[in-house]
């Protein structure tokens, strides 16, 4: 029966060890992976560390580092657990793994860079308990949400459920752009607002509701009309934009600005009993103009003010948008990139359509001219047109 020393010796034969100086040289290029326990992690880490306790390594690593050729430096406290972790990573197919000799202890003793990581306080541990139970999120994922910034275009039908759920989930900064005031006809679906807020700025009403729901969230309000003159400044620094606008000019404007800034957009739209969601990740999947290169003529575009919508529908579509935003923030699962999800409330069906990048796209195609941020005439149509020219509303 082999003992611990034999197991360690065998594992060392199979893996590569590097000292702190060699590891230091790989910062910026390699992922530093901390496999210690929570209490050790809280005491101090190498900056920009990915934290997966050894006991969760096999279950979580492929979600957290999908690219198996990505260089990884594994460390623990003294360089023992990291040997076994490196061995496991190699068994899982990771090709460039090294274990840090002497671990964090030696790193620190040599006077190298380290920081105390931000950790959740006891109230946050309780509030986000159901997230912490998911190994795919855990404390590091929750911390990441708290550090994330999502911009919502519109505090209306789609923006309301999206903002409520993003705030509840603990997305630390929510920006909200809306220039309208709360009207009684909004309350049929815009659940951020209530009768006491009629006549108030929607952004102020939204901020009150969201801050009451979760004081961890910093709500940044933009009581302005989004235009060519301000969009680049407003979206700058956000990780994801959730688009709940209902008109072409803003969608084109947002599309072009998000490509320039390389910020993913979770697009949603609703019309009568139907809704659509897709994710535009710049230069990865299609953009809005790949789906709809030009706005349709005004006679085919119904006015948004007149279009009816079933009250519950935006709750479903806006909630899916919030979910997609969280997936993007946490690198979870498969986002709706290159896929358009269409929901029909009357049939109670979801259908997914493949949508592709258009090689002749005027903004994201290989031969596209430099992007110019410009205003468009006022047009209104709720749904995108699919790449084959058909619309999904019938």
**Interface with Zn ion (CB under 5 A):** 287, 289-290, 361, 364
The candidate with the shortest Cα–Cα distance to 217, out of 166, 156, 268, is 166
Nearest approach, Cβ of residue 303 and Zn ion (Å): 27
When the beta carbons of 166 and 287 are compared against Zn ion, the nearer one is: 287
Residues recorded for the chain: 394
Nearest approach, Cβ of residue 281 and Zn ion (Å): 11
Nearest approach, Cβ of residue 256 and Zn ion (Å): 10
The token pair at 126 is 């309780």
When the beta carbons of 153 and 287 are compared against Zn ion, the nearer one is: 287
The candidate with the shortest Cα–Cα distance to 153, out of 208, 260, 230, 217, is 230
Nearest approach, Cβ of residue 279 and Zn ion (Å): 13
Question: How large is the C-alpha radius of gyration of the chain?
Answer: 24
Nearest approach, Cβ of residue 365 and Zn ion (Å): 6
When the beta carbons of 277 and 361 are compared against Zn ion, the nearer one is: 361
Nearest approach, Cβ of residue 361 and Zn ion (Å): 3
When the beta carbons of 307 and 368 are compared against Zn ion, the nearer one is: 368
When the beta carbons of 61 and 290 are compared against Zn ion, the nearer one is: 290
When the beta carbons of 117 and 362 are compared against Zn ion, the nearer one is: 362
The token pair at 162 is 């999206």
When the beta carbons of 34 and 358 are compared against Zn ion, the nearer one is: 358
When the beta carbons of 74 and 361 are compared against Zn ion, the nearer one is: 361
When the beta carbons of 111 and 366 are compared against Zn ion, the nearer one is: 366
When the beta carbons of 193 and 289 are compared against Zn ion, the nearer one is: 289
The candidate with the shortest Cα–Cα distance to 24, out of 108, 81, 147, is 108
For the chain, the three-class secondary structure string (H helix, E strand, C coil) is CCCHHHHHHHHHHHCCEECHHHHHHCECCEEEEECCCHHHHHHCECCCEEECCHHHHHHHHHHHCCCCCCCEEEECCCCCHHHHHHHHHHHCCCCCEEEECCHHHHHHHCCCCCECCCCCCHHHHHHCHHHHCCCCCHHHHHHHHHHCEEEEECCCCCHHHHHHHHHHHCCCEEEEECCCECCHHHCCCCCCCCHHHCCCEHHHHHHHHHHHHCCCCEEEEECCCCCCCCHHHHHCCCCEEEECCCCHHHHHHHHHHHHHHCCCEEEEEEEECEEEEEEECCCCCCCHHHHCCCCCCHHHCCCCCCCCECCCHHHHHHHHHHHHHHHHHHCCCCCCECEEEEEECCCCEEEEEECCCCCCCCCCCCCCCCCCCCCCCCCCCCCCECCCCCECCC
Nearest approach, Cβ of residue 222 and Zn ion (Å): 26
Nearest approach, Cβ of residue 388 and Zn ion (Å): 16
Nearest approach, Cβ of residue 177 and Zn ion (Å): 23
Handedness of CA 250, 253, 256, 261 (dihedral sign): negative
When the beta carbons of 209 and 363 are compared against Zn ion, the nearer one is: 363
Nearest approach, Cβ of residue 50 and Zn ion (Å): 32
The candidate with the shortest Cα–Cα distance to 267, out of 256, 283, 254, is 254
Task: Determine contact, residues 85/57, Cβ cutoff 8 Å.
Answer: yes
Nearest approach, Cβ of residue 274 and Zn ion (Å): 24
């Amino acid at each position: 029966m082999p003992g611990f020393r034999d197991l360690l010796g065998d594992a060392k034969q199979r893996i590569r060890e590097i000292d702190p100086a060699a590891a230091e040289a790989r910062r910026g290029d390699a992922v530093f992976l901390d496999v210690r326990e929570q209490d050790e992690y809280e005491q101090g880490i190498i900056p920009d560390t990915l934290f997966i306790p050894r006991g969760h390594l096999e279950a979580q690593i492929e979600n957290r580092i999908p690219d198996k050729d990505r260089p990884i430096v594994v460390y623990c406290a003294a360089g023992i657990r990291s040997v076994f972790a490196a061995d496991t990573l190699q068994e899982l197919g990771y090709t460039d793994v090294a274990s840090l000799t002497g671990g964090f202890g030696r790193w620190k003793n040599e006077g190298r860079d380290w920081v105390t990581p931000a950790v959740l306080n006891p109230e946050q541990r309780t509030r986000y308990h159901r997230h912490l139970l998911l190994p795919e999120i855990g404390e590091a994922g929750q911390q990441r949400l708290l550090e994330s910034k999502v911009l919502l275009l519109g505090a209306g039908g789609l923006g309301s459920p999206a903002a409520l759920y993003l705030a509840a989930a603990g997305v630390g900064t929510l920006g909200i752009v809306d220039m309208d005031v709360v009207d009684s006809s909004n309350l049929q679906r815009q659940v951020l607002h209530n009768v006491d807020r009629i006549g108030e700025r929607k952004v102020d009403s939204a901020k009150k509701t969201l801050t009451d729901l979760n004081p961890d969230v910093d709500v940044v309000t933009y009581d302005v009309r989004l235009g060519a003159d301000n969009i680049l400044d407003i979206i700058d620094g956000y990780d994801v934009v959730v688009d709940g606008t209902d008109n072409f000019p803003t969608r084109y404007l947002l599309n072009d600005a998000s490509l320039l800034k390389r910020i993913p957009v979770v697009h949603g739209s609703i019309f009568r009993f139907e809704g659509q969601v897709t994710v535009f990740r710049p230069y990865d999947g299609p953009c809005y103009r790949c789906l709809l290169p030009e706005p349709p003529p005004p006679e085919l575009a119904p006015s948004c003010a007149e279009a009816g919508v079933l009250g519950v529908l935006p709750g479903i579509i806006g909630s899916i948008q919030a979910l997609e935003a969280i997936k993007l923030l946490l690198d979870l699962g498969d986002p709706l990139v290159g896929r358009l999800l269409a929901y029909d409330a009357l049939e109670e069906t979801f259908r997914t359509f493949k949508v592709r990048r258009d090689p002749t796209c005027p903004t994201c195609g290989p031969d596209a001219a430099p992007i110019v941020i410009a205003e468009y005439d006022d047009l209104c149509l709720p749904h995108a047109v699919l790449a084959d020219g058909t619309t999904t509303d019938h």
